[in-house]
């Protein structure tokens, strides 16, 4: 339990609903372990309350706030500046109250998206980088956008998105155009129903990521890859889902004998550790966090 004093500094978490979140437990464990007099508190903030809640970061001289659904896009107009990959993704999950030369907060708010940064940091821990790689990404939603934008900023050569025919498909097209405008990464969006193209792209891909929630309630039985003939031995197979720890896709890859198969636990941990570093400037010991949080 953190010891709260008159000097304790505040990090928020603004979302609705939010009471189920594991974020405060993660952040407060890290601040405690790092010896920082900082606490994170979750606030129920919907889109109506968002403008005043963001203004409170300035008024209360908070270090910043994590932002989750439904506020990741809605927060953009209230910020002063955006990190390049948050700009590309058009989504923010971390607002930092920038510090001045004397180290105190200035009230100038910069938005980041550490979901994507966290995904690539988790892969970096396994010795896998984005540099020059071809990514097949199933989904064009919030998680997929963050992963693609951050990967493009880190040097991905190409991304092929595959999406069902819903509103995210057109959003994916706009994202692909922003990625191609801002980086040298080639990006295209295809119909998930085009199995032949999916197979063709997968057979030449380095990394597959499913960012649709397939395998998690209410899509627990869904696997977007029809069978193991779509996978090849060198493919890195990843899923943003971490509950359950093994989705049907990850099981398919493991049973096909692939050795580099990862769920979303590392992404979840590293999105938090990346945000913590942005607030306090400190690296957190990931092994300690994994042990204490049983990840
Ligand atoms: P979102 O609603 O923004 O996007 C959902 C995507 O899935 C869209 O592209 C949509 O078209 C697609 N989709 C929906 N139903 C589908 C179906 N039946 N078949 C195929 N595709 C379908 O959601 P999001 O915020 O991007 O979250 C996606 C998943 O990623 C969730 O499971 C979420 O828990 C997970 N996530 C994990 C982390 C992490 O840290 N590990 C972070 C963010 C999100």
Q: What pLDDT score was predicted for residue 190?
A: 98
Nearest CA to ligand 1 atom 37: 240
Nearest to 136 by CA among 212, 74, 83, 67: 212
Q: What's the mean pLDDT in 126-139? A: 98
Nearest CA to ligand 1 atom 22: 212
pLDDT, one tens digit per residue, over 187-221 is 999 999 999 999 999 999 999 999 999 999 999 99
> How many Cα neighbours within 13 Å face the side chain of 114?
22
Ligand 1 centroid to residue 143 C-alpha, Å: 6
pLDDT, one tens digit per residue, over 53-81 is 999 999 999 999 999 999 999 999 999 99
Q: Is the pLDDT of residue 171 over 80?
A: yes
Residue with tokens 């922003």: 178
Percentage above 90 pLDDT, the chain: 99
| Residue 251 near residue 221 (C-beta atoms within 8 A) | no
Q: What pLDDT score was predicted for residue 2?
A: 53
In the structure encoding, which two tokens stand for residue 93, read together?
A: 């999950």
In whole angstroms, give the CA distance from residue 176 to residue 187: 5
Q: Is the pLDDT of residue 293 over 90?
A: yes
Q: Is the pLDDT of residue 1 over 80?
A: no
Give yes or no for residue 268 CB within 6 A of ligand 1.
yes
Which is it for the CA torsion 69, 72, 77, 81, positive or negative? positive
Q: What's the mean pLDDT in 100-121? A: 97
Confirm whether 72 is a catalytic residue: yes
Please list, in sequence order, all residues whose beta carbon lies within 8 angstroms of the beta carbon of residue 72, skipping any fewer than 6 positions away: 91, 92, 93, 142
Q: What pLDDT score was predicted for residue 3?
A: 80
pLDDT, one tens digit per residue, over 219-273 is 999 999 999 999 999 999 999 999 999 999 999 999 999 999 999 999 999 999 9
Please list, in sequence order, all residues whose beta carbon lies within 8 angstroms of the beta carbon of residue 138, skipping any fewer than 6 positions away: 144, 161, 162, 163, 192, 208, 209, 210, 211, 212, 214, 224, 225
- Residue 61 parent element (H or E): none
Ligand 1 centroid to residue 214 C-alpha, Å: 8
In whole angstroms, give the CA distance from residue 239 to residue 227: 16
Ligand 1 centroid to residue 129 C-alpha, Å: 23
Q: Give this prediction's pTM.
A: 0.96
């Amino acid at each position: 339990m953190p010891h709260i004093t008159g000097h304790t500094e505040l990090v928020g978490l603004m979302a609705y609903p939010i009471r189920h979140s594991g974020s405060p437990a993660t952040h407060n464990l890290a601040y405690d372990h790092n010896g920082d007099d900082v606490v994170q508190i979750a606030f129920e903030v919907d889109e109506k309350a968002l403008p005043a809640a963001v203004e409170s970061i300035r008024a209360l001289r908070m270090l910043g706030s994590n932002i989750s659904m439904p506020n990741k896009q809605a927060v953009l107009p209230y910020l002063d500046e955006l990190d390049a990959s948050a700009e590309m993704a058009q989504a923010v999950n971390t607002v930092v109250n920038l510090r001045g030369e004397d180290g105190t907060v200035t009230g100038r708010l910069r938005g980041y998206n550490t979901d994507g940064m966290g995904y690539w940091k988790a892969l970096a821990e396994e010795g896998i980088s984005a540099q020059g790689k071809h990514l097949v990404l199933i989904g064009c939603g919030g998680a997929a956008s963050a992963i693609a934008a951050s990967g493009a900023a880190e040097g991905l050569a190409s991304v092929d998105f595959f999406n069902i025919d819903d509103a995210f498909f057109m959003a994916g097209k706009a994202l692909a155009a922003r990625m191609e405008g801002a980086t040298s990464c080639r990006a295209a969006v295809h119909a998930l129903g085009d199995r032949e193209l999916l197979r063709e792209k997968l057979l030449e891909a380095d990394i597959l990521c499913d960012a649709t929630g397939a395998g998690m309630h209410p899509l627990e039985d869904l696997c977007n890859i029809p069978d193991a003939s779509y996978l090849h031995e060198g493919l890195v197979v990843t899923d943003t889902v971490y509950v359950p720890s093994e989705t049907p896709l990850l099981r398919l890859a493991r049973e096909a004998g692939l050795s580099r198969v990862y769920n979303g636990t590392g992404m979840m941990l590293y999105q938090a550790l990346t945000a913590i570093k942005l607030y306090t400037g400190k690296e957190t010991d990931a092994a300690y966090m994994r042990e204490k949080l049983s990840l």
